[in-house]
Chains A and B, each alone.
Chain A
Amino acid sequence: MENRKLDEIDITILRTLQKDIRTSFKEIANQCNISTDTIKNRYNKLIENEVIRGSTIVVDPKKMGQGNLVIIGIKVEQKFSDSVLNMIKKMKGLCVVTKSIGQYDIEAIFLLEDIEQIGITKDKIEDFPQVKSADVGIFVDKPLLCPKNFEFE
């Protein structure tokens, strides 16, 4: 499907739901001054067109005892990035893993309990035979989420 332009109503729906996914369609409808059914249809369209992929809650990992967000930059032997990627995908605490163009071949973000876990995770990655090196960076404080969190066109 080609990218469809979003109109005012779509953007209002997305912006409102970005702030609080549990906002009722009725409330959004009042805000836009149109019917609840229109909002419902638009919402379903946005899902159908894959603009909306799902919904989730944001939890504070520190409060749940998983305080450390860590990024690991990994250099691997050429041609092995897929197999290393697949192994990392199975690891505990993983938030994101991706191939990368730049200083590293793979970058992964983990949410880990403590410094010991960070060490174990780094060792585990370096134990993969095709991994050349793994650099660790630890996020300090609470990472900030952009209040605007990307603009819509």
Chain B
Amino acid sequence: MKLDNIDITILEMLKKDARISFREIARKIDVSPDTISNRFERLKEQGIIVSSTVIINPKKIGYSFIARFGVDVKPAYSSQVLEEIIKIPSVIVASKLVGKYDLISIIVVKNFQHLCELREYILEMPYVEKVETSTWINTMELCPYYFLI
């Protein structure tokens, strides 16, 4: 569906600060707060806005870095393994991948021991053939809107 200027302004402003009041958004584009409220509900109904969330700094709550896991699995079992990986509490995102690996997962990690434990845990899952990890340096300063890292 086509988004107009009002929708786009709502999305842009909420991306930067999701607690901003509808009144403030309304003032910016000179429409009524009710219009903003209606549009907001519509964007949610249409699945364009999936959810809203707080951005947490993992470094302040005991995590020290982010690791990217590339996982190879036995053919035809990738969905099954993905379902298991997504349950690991420190996973941010996991997905099937077309490329070097079958699955990819981005995980916040407490320390190197935690990293090793996670690797072993995934390796021991049935049908997993290979796990490769890479450690991201200084990622947390970047704030992508999509991943909320």
Contacts and interface: CB of A to CB of B under 8 A. Distances in A.
A58 B18 CA distance: 10
Interface stretch (B26-34, B58-66, B120-128): B58-66
Interface residues of B, number: 64
A137 B100 contact: yes
Contacts, number: 209
A54 B147 CA distance: 13
Question: Does more than half of chain B's interface fall in helix, strand or loop, or is it mixed?
Answer: mixed
A102 B147 contact: no
5 contacts: A53-B143, A55-B52, A69-B146, A71-B68, A104-B134
Nearest to B88: A146
Give me the 9 closest cross-chain CB pairs, A-B, nearest first.
Answer: A102-B134, A137-B99, A143-B95, A55-B18, A95-B144, A140-B96, A146-B91, A98-B139, A17-B54
Interface in A114-153: 135-153
B26 to A, nearest CB: 16
A102 B148 CA distance: 23
B55 to A, nearest CB: 4
A9 interface: no
A138 B98 contact: yes
Given A53-B56, A102-B133, 17 more contacts: A20-B53, A22-B19, A54-B17, A55-B19, A56-B15, A56-B18, A59-B145, A60-B48, A61-B146, A63-B47, A95-B145, A99-B138, A103-B70, A109-B147, A137-B104, A146-B86, A149-B92
